[in-house]
Amino acid sequence: MKSTAPSSSAPALTRGIAVLRLLGDARARTLEEIARATRWPKSSLLRLCRDLTALGLLGRDEASRAYTARARIVPLHTGGELSGELDAALERLVEATGRTAEWYVPSETGMVIVRRAEPQTAEVRVIARVGFVRAWRGELDAVAALGAAWFRPREHSTAGYWTYVRPGVRGALPVRSAAGKIARARETGFVADEVVNPHSVRRQAGVVIREGRPLGVLALAEHVGPRGRASAPAVRAALENEIRKLSDGGGSAPRGTTVREDRS
């Protein structure tokens, strides 16, 4: 592939971003492979990859000498309007619920976590970190359902989704069931997972709307153990309260308070 990097007054920065984008597909590549893809000298790429590794943005396997990305550059389409308010909302949610709070916004590939906060005393940590992407097609959990309902590109269908049918047990999700869950997410603006994933984690989430435009998804991730005990009503109440604060002038969150999910 011929390098398409434009001329720049900061060529090292431009090349560093290009390397991160190249490795953003999670495929490991050796220095030789990166050089072939970018058509840049191996000597300058070696220095660049060393610097990115020292910064924690790349990882290198000593056996294969291949580099992998530890950070991903994801173009975002919305969400910046709430920048000054999100950190406070996330911290309040953590303090009130003891759960991990997450803020997702749409990107080209799916819903991506751009901010999060977690209890410092938690014995079990939620592994999804900033940069984690819930793809437009795949697991249809609470966040993905809201993403599909409010942000998904028009060309994407409701085929190809799956869900957890029992704690940690993955199962196919028929197109009609997926479409129904997405339609309810659009109607109510709030979804709560009923079944935990293999890490014994489930989420409940709601869309934040300001001036009639959806900006992102606010979620709480809770570790509930393999049996998936019921979530305390106060947890959902705290989440809905923060959604109202982030929405238009502290007004009402998306309509609908009863959430029903189709797990067939």
The secondary structure of 60-108 as a DSSP string is E-TTT-EEEESS----B-S-GGGHHHHHHHHHHHHHHHSSEEEEEEEBS
Please state, in angstroms and rounded to a whole number, the distance separating the CA atoms of residues 145 and 140: 6
**Residue type at 210 in one-letter notation:** R
Per the DSSP assignment, residues forming a β-bridge with 13 are none
Site of tokens 């920048």: 83
What pLDDT, on a 0 to 100 scale, did the predictor assign at position 41? 92
Q: Find the radius of gyration of the CA atoms of the chain.
A: 20
**Residue type at 221 in one-letter notation:** A
Please state, in angstroms and rounded to a whole number, the distance separating the CA atoms of residues 86 and 88: 5
Phi, psi of 73 (to 5 degrees): -95, 115
Q: Which residues of the chain fall short of a pLDDT of 50? A: 1-5, 250-253, 255-264
CA-CA distances (angstroms) from residue 139 to 15, 25, 61, 126, 162? Answer: 34, 18, 30, 17, 5
In order of their start, the domains of the chain are 11-69 (1.10.10.10), 80-250 (3.30.450.40)
What pLDDT, on a 0 to 100 scale, did the predictor assign at position 221? 93
What pLDDT, on a 0 to 100 scale, did the predictor assign at position 215? 93
What pLDDT, on a 0 to 100 scale, did the predictor assign at position 123? 61
What pLDDT, on a 0 to 100 scale, did the predictor assign at position 10? 76
Convert the pLDDT of each residue in 85-120 to its tens digit: 899 999 999 999 999 999 999 988 889 998 999 998
260 burial type by CB count under 10 A (0-12 exposed, 13-18 middle, 19+ buried): exposed
Which residues fall within 8 angstroms of residue 59, CB to CB, at 6 or more apart?
53, 67, 68, 69, 70
